[in-house]
Amino acid sequence: MAGCKELVSYSLDATLEADRTDDNCFIIDVGCDKDGDCVSSPVHIAEMVDSFRSNVNDFSSTITKLYVIGEWNPVLCKGKGRATKEKDENKNSNYARLEKEHHEAGVVIAKLVEQMPALKELT
């Protein structure tokens, strides 16, 4: 057991930066695409998981770390999955819609995890 002097605070930023170049690490940024553009999170997650699953034979058995990071952008977009701001006066319908989006994204990510037999860490 580690003594108190050996314990250090966990830093997601530092850990993610160290793992980013690791071939055994898969990162899903739910709010941004590879170019850093803001995207609708549910659409982006589905696209990333579909892309991974189409290449599952290439590297799924080597993935040991999965990060799901970023700011959630709800589906309020017009066009190709790009997120935009939109007013909705009915807050209850907003919460119900967001809850549904979060649940559906969780189901998609769970299917992704099933394709990663060597997975040891999910952050």
Residue 1 confidence (pLDDT) above 70: no
- Map out the domains of the chain as residue ranges: 20-121
Residue 24 confidence (pLDDT) above 50: yes
User: Looking at residue 107, what is its pLDDT?
Assistant: 95
| Mean pLDDT of all residues belonging to the chain | 83
Mean pLDDT of 33-38: 91
User: Looking at residue 68, what is its pLDDT?
Assistant: 95
Residue 32 confidence (pLDDT) above 90: yes
User: Looking at residue 42, what is its pLDDT?
Assistant: 93
Mean pLDDT of 7-17: 90
- Long-range contacts of 19-26, Cβ-Cβ distance < 8 Å, separation of 24 or more: 19/65, 19/67, 22/65, 23/59, 23/62, 24/62, 24/63, 24/64, 24/65, 24/118, 25/63, 25/64, 25/65, 25/66, 25/67, 26/52, 26/63, 26/65, 26/66, 26/67, 26/116
User: Looking at residue 77, what is its pLDDT?
Assistant: 47
User: Looking at residue 95, what is its pLDDT?
Assistant: 80
Summarised one tens digit per residue, pLDDT across range 48-102 is 999 888 876 666 678 999 999 999 999 864 444 454 455 545 666 878 889 999 9
Q: What's the CA gap between 103 and 73, in Å, rounded? A: 14
User: Looking at residue 79, what is its pLDDT?
Assistant: 45
